[in-house]
Structure 1
Amino acid sequence: MKPETGNQGEFEPMDSCDERIMSVINELHHRDDPIPNDLNERVQFVLELEAALDAKVASVYRPTEMALTRGDTGLTVNQGDPASITFDCETITVMVTPRPSAVQEIRLDGWIGPEGTYEVEVRSPQGTRRASTDETGRFALEGLPNDEMFQLVIRPDEALQREGLPAVVVTPAVRL
């Protein structure tokens, strides 16, 4: 029996061999990278926040270029603190760094730009914790559960909102 792959160009119609390959790829995707069960709820959550609350949803920022930082022995090339997570939307950038503080607890140090005062909520399965930033946008929260999902809700003060910042910024949930 002769295989059906002879002389196929990139614009030829799919044949049974192509269909088998696509079927295997589809099975691999379903097994190894399935669509999250709660995808519809996540999308609905974002749409409701943006529509009803005038909230912006920040995304996780992943730098693509290397940054120079000063170490003990001169300049080193890296991408910052590997434990830091940066969230970004059109008008606000938030960087948080979780650090161990006690058994099964962490301290969360955070910085929000542009500078100003913000109310910050950290939501986790254990509940909600609140903090206020100083005038430079810095905040810290102690006693957060280790290895749990968390989400930040950021509310700029009225002066920052008059400058064009949204009333609410929400980050995606990430695991500490």
Structure 2
Amino acid sequence: MNMGPESESQGEFESLDSCDERILSVINELHHRDDPIPSDLNARVQFVLELEAELDARVARVSRSSELVLTRGDAELAVGQGDPATVTFDCESVTVMVTPRPSALKERRLDGWIGPEGIYEVELRSTDGSKRASTDESGRFVLEGLPEGQLFQLVIRPHEALQREGLPAVVVTPAVQL
């Protein structure tokens, strides 16, 4: 590549001039306006670090549910088109499906099902603290009074009988937002 006279004078180590500073200032303003740092970023990071420090658990992954279709009578309705979105988490031996629903002003209710069927202790952890529920024998649970828009993570503890059948002692889901 042959460098002409104009590119030779534009070294990569030249100091910034006023035009460069104006361009950088505009870029900085755009970032602050259109993509600000979340106000609760520190709380989110601390939440995840505390959980990782406390638990030696199997981490479930989010199953892609975009292919799921709900059927209501003869009409089909894709998830996320009017009905509450259902999120499914799974690891080797446990599947957790949750559906957030509005319950009160700026609050959510979380309906959940865990498979295989059995008794589980469910802990929902958020930056506001934690809430607990137990499943019925079919693996169904409900958590109510959850703040809308809150980042949460589920910690699932199977009953001892299920652990004897090979289920892990603790399963934790990735953090998702209500």
Smaller-chain TM-score range?
Answer: 0.5 to 0.7
AA matched with 1:113: G
**Match of residue 76 from structure 1:** 76
**How far did 1:63 drift?**
3.8
**Match of residue 12 from structure 1:** none
**Match of residue 163 from structure 2:** 161
Structure 1 gap ranges (5+): 4-30
AA matched with 1:71: R
Q: Deviations over 1:45-90 (max 9, x none)?
A: 65x66xx63x2011111146x3454323x15263585511111111
8 Å CA contact 1:151, 1:170 repeated in 2: yes
Give the number of aligned pairs: 139
Structure 2 gap ranges (5+): 4-30, 36-40
What is the DSSP-based 3-state SS (H/G/I as helix, E as strand, rest coil) of the residue aligned with 1:161? helix
Match of 2:61 among 59, 62, 82: 59
**How far did 1:104 drift?**
1.2
Q: TM-score, normalised by structure 2?
A: 0.66
**Match of residue 123 from structure 2:** 121
Q: TM-score, normalised by structure 1?
A: 0.67
RMSD value over aligned CA atoms?
A: 3.1
Calculate percent identity across the aligned residue pairs: 60
Match of 1:131 among 127, 130, 133: 133
8 Å CA contact 2:79, 2:86 repeated in 1: no
**Match of residue 96 from structure 1:** 98
Which structure would you say has the larger Rg?
2
Equivalent-residue separation in structure 2 for 1:144 and 1:44 (angstroms)? 21
